[in-house]
Structure 1
Amino acid sequence: MASIDLDRVLDKAWADRSLAEIMEAPAAALKGVSERDGELLEEAFGVKTVADLAELKYVRWAQALGALAAAAK
């Protein structure tokens, strides 16, 4: 199983939280996602939490396409 450095992907306020807490955190808990970005994600796609973003079908489609493209190289 791959590990992830939470300090690299989360705002400092969230880096020491449990995974369950992180998944219920607002999307802005992700490093690089501003409060305004979070508002826009909610307006456009109904995304309120990190879990919502992870489950968003467009994100899953993009990940699948990326994996296919990488495998085709």
Structure 2
Amino acid sequence: MAVSVNLDAVLDPEFQTVDILDLVGAPVSAFAGVSEAEAEGLKAAFGIETIGDLADNPLVRAALAIREMARVAEQPPA
């Protein structure tokens, strides 16, 4: 089963037609709103160069887990 997703809103125009498998290796500056200078900051601070690096970063993963656990904690018991 083929799955498609439109990521145009989060990607710079030159990356909007890039295959999803290739986006993993794309620079974080491929995200709309992330400048080259900001991408350099991520590289300097955390060693993040690609979208895949960002997704695999332990701090990013921990932040996502904390957010999800907090959402569950906010929900009233069923």
- TM > 0.5: yes
The alpha carbon displacement at 1:5 in A equals 2.9
User: Percent identity, aligned pairs only?
Assistant: 39
**Could you report, residue by residue, the CA deviation over 1:9-46 in whole angstroms, capped at 9, with x for unpaired residues?**
11111011101211101010011211111000000111
Match of 2:17 in 1: 16
| Structure 2: unaligned runs, 5 residues or longer | none
Runs of 4+ in 1 over 6 A off after TM superposition: none
> How many residue pairs are counted as aligned between the two chains?
71
Larger Rg: 2
Take 1:48 and 1:20, find their aligned partners in 2: how far apart are those partners?
16
| Structure 1: unaligned runs, 5 residues or longer | none
Identify, as 1 or 2, the structure richer in helix. 1
TM-score (norm 2): 0.84
TM-score (norm 1): 0.90
